[in-house]
C-alpha cells in the first residue's frame, strides 16, 4: 500500500525518496551531510522573564498575545512526534520554551516521553525561577539533566537583564535543588553582552569552579528580530577564555560527541571545566545536528530560520505516523541552513523566528 505523504509547499517534496532510503538504513542526513540527532521541543511560548536579548518588554508587553492553549501541541501530540523523530535517529530531546516550567503538568510530559523513548537523553532548559519547586518531580519522572540560564551573579545586574525584578538568589536555590535531586551535572548558560554583564565573566567562573557544574559562556546572538543585536555588543568567546585563563589557567578539551556546540576548556588544576558557544565568531553550522519543534507544532531546521514546516495541521487531520515520518525526513534531507556562516549586517536585520517561540 502506498504511503500517504503530507503535502509540502515547496521543492522539499522531491527529497522524499532519498530520505526514505537513508532512514531505513538508520541514517538521516541533510544536504550537507549533517545527521539528525537532537530535537528541541518548545512546550510554551510564555515566560515570566523579559530578558533583553530574548523577550524585550517593549515588544512582549502586557498587550502581547500569546498562543491560545488550543494552538499548543498536546502532550500526546508531542510524544507522538518524539517517537517519529526517535525512529529517524534522534538520540537527545531537550524541552524548552519560553519557560517550560510554566507549562502545567510538565513532569507528566517528562514521564510520558521517558516511557515512550526509554533510551533517549532527556533534558530541559529553564530560567530556574521555578526549579526549586519542580526539581524532585522532574527527576522522579525520568529527566536526566537540566540547563539553567543565569546571566549574572550580581543581583542588580541580574534583575536588569531579566527585567522582571526577579532575584538571583532564587535561581541559585533552584540550582542547588536540582543538584540535590540528582539532575546533574548541571549546565549553567551565561549570555555575555558587552557593557552589560561582561565584567562578571570571571566571577561566574569562580563561583562554579569545583562545583561539578559546567558554566557555558554564550556569545550574544542575533536571534529573532526584536533584541536590537549589534556586532559591537558581542564579546568574542576567545576573549572570554583569555579573561578566565588569566585567573585560572585553562587547557583545551576534546569534544564529547559529534555536533557538540560548546568548545570545552578544563581548569588545569582539575577543578572542572567551562564551555564557550561561539555562534557569531566561530560558526559551527557545519556540524549542527539539531531540529526544533515550535510550540504550535512547526518544524524549524535552524535557530535563525524565518519559517517552519507545519506538522500539527496534518497530524490533527488524521495522517498516519508514516506520513509524518516522510515529511520530517524530506524536510531534513533538503536542509542546507548555514546562517551563522553567512551572517551579514543585512541578514541580522532580517525577520527571524523569536527564540522564545522555538527555544535556544
117-157 residue pLDDT tens? 999 999 999 999 999 999 999 999 999 999 999 999 999 99
CB 197 within 8 A of CB 255: no
Query: Is residue 285 a part of any domain in this protein?
Result: yes
Rounded distance between C-alpha atoms, residue 244 and residue 217, angstroms:
11
Other beta carbons within 10 Å of 33: 8
Q: Is the pLDDT of residue 305 over 90?
A: no
Give the rounded percent of residues in the chain with a pLDDT score beyond 90.
Answer: 68
Query: Is residue 128 a part of any domain in this protein?
Result: yes
Site of grid cell 559529534: 258
Q: What is the DSSP letter of 73?
A: P
Query: Is residue 1 a part of any domain in this protein?
Result: no
Return the C-alpha cell found at 7.
503535502
Q: Is the pLDDT of residue 304 over 90?
A: no
Q: What confidence tier does 286 reach under pLDDT thresholds 50, 70, 90?
A: confident
Select from 304, 296, 283 the least CA-distant residue to 355: 304
Q: Is the pLDDT of residue 4 over 80?
A: no
User: In the prediction, which pLDDT does 167 show?
Assistant: 98
Query: Is residue 308 a part of any domain in this protein?
Result: yes
Which letter, b or e, does each residue of 255-290 get, where b requires 16 or more Cβ atoms within 10 Å of its Cβ? eeeebebbbbbbbeeeebbbbbbbbbeebbbeebbb
Q: Which residue range is the domain that position 220 belongs to?
A: 11-358
**What CATH number has the domain bearing residue 118?**
3.20.20.70
User: In the prediction, which pLDDT does 105 show?
Assistant: 98
Query: Is residue 269 a part of any domain in this protein?
Result: yes
Q: Is the pLDDT of residue 25 over 70?
A: no
User: In the prediction, which pLDDT does 316 show?
Assistant: 97
User: In the prediction, which pLDDT does 302 show?
Assistant: 83
Query: Is residue 3 a part of any domain in this protein?
Result: no
Query: Is residue 6 a part of any domain in this protein?
Result: no
Q: Helix, strand or coil for residue 281?
A: coil
Residue 316 CA: distances (Å) to CA of 72, 128, 157, 204: 12, 33, 45, 46
How many domains are there within the chain? 1
pTM of the model: 0.88
User: In the prediction, which pLDDT does 203 show?
Assistant: 98
CB 54 within 8 A of CB 1: no
Rounded distance between C-alpha atoms, residue 160 and residue 255, angstroms:
34
Q: Is the pLDDT of residue 295 over 90?
A: yes
Q: Is the pLDDT of residue 353 over 70?
A: no
Residue 107 CA: distances (Å) to CA of 30, 94, 104, 129, 169: 33, 13, 8, 16, 24
Return the C-alpha cell found at 142.
525520568
Amino acid at each position: 500500500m502506498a504511503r500517504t505523504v503530507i503535502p509540502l509547499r515547496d521543492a522539499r517534496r522531491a527529497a522524499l525518496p532519498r530520505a526514505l532510503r537513508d532512514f531505513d538504513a538508520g541514517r538521516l542526513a541533510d544536504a550537507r551531510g549533517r545527521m539528525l540527532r537532537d530535537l528541541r521541543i518548545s512546550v510554551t511560548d510564555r515566560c515570566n522573564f523579559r530578558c533583553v536579548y530574548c523577550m524585550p518588554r517593549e515588544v512582549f508587553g502586557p498587550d502581547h498575545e500569546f498562543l491560545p492553549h488550543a494552538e499548543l501541541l498536546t502532550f500526546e501530540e508531542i510524544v507522538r512526534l518524539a517517537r517519529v523523530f526517535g525512529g529517524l535517529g534522534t538520540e537527545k530531546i531537550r524541552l524548552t520554551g519560553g519557560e517550560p516550567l510554566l507549562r502545567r503538568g510538565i513532569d507528566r510530559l517528562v514521564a510520558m516521553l521517558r516511557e515512550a523513548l526509554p533510551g533517549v537523553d532527556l533534558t530541559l532548559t529553564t530560567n530556574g525561577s521555578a526549579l526549586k519547586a519542580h526539581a524532585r518531580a522532574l527527576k522522579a519522572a525520568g529527566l536526566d539533566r537540566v540547563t539553567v540560564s543565569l546571566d549574572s551573579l550580581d543581583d542588580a545586574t541580574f534583575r536588569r537583564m531579566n527585567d522582571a525584578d526577579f532575584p538571583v538568589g532564587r535561581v541559585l536555590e533552584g540550582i542547588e535543588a536540582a543538584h540535590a535531586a540528582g539532575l546533574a551535572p548541571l549546565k549553567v548558560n551565561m549570555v555575555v553582552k558587552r557593557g552589560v554583564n561582561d565584567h562578571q565573566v570571571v566571577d561566574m567562573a569562580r563561583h562554579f569552579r569545583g562545583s561539578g557544574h559546567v558554566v557555558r559562556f554564550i556569545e550574544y546572538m542575533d536571534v529573532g528580530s526584536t533584541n536590537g543585536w549589534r556586532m559591537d555588543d558581542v564579546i568574542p568567546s576567545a576573549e572570554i577564555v583569555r579573561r578566565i585563563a588569566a585567573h585560572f589557567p585553562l587547557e583545551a578539551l576534546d569534544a564529547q560527541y559529534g555536533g557538540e556546540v560548546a568548545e570545552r576548556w578544563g581548569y588545569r588544576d582539575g577543578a572542572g571545566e567551562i564551555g564557550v558557544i561561539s555562534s557569531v565568531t566561530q560558526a559551527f553550522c557545519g556540524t549542527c545536528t539539531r531540529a526544533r519543534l515550535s510550540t504550535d507544532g512547526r518544524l524549524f531546521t535552524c535557530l535563525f530560520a524565518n519559517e517552519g514546516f507545519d506538522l500539527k495541521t496534518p497530524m490533527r487531520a488524521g495522517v498516519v505516523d508514516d506520513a509524518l515520518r516522510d515529511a520530517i525526513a524530506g524536510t531534513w534531507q533538503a536542509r542546507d541552513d548555514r546562517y551563522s556562516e553567512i551572517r551579514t549586517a543585512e541578514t541580522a536585520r532580517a525577520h527571524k523566528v523569536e527564540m522564545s517561540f522555538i527555544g535556544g
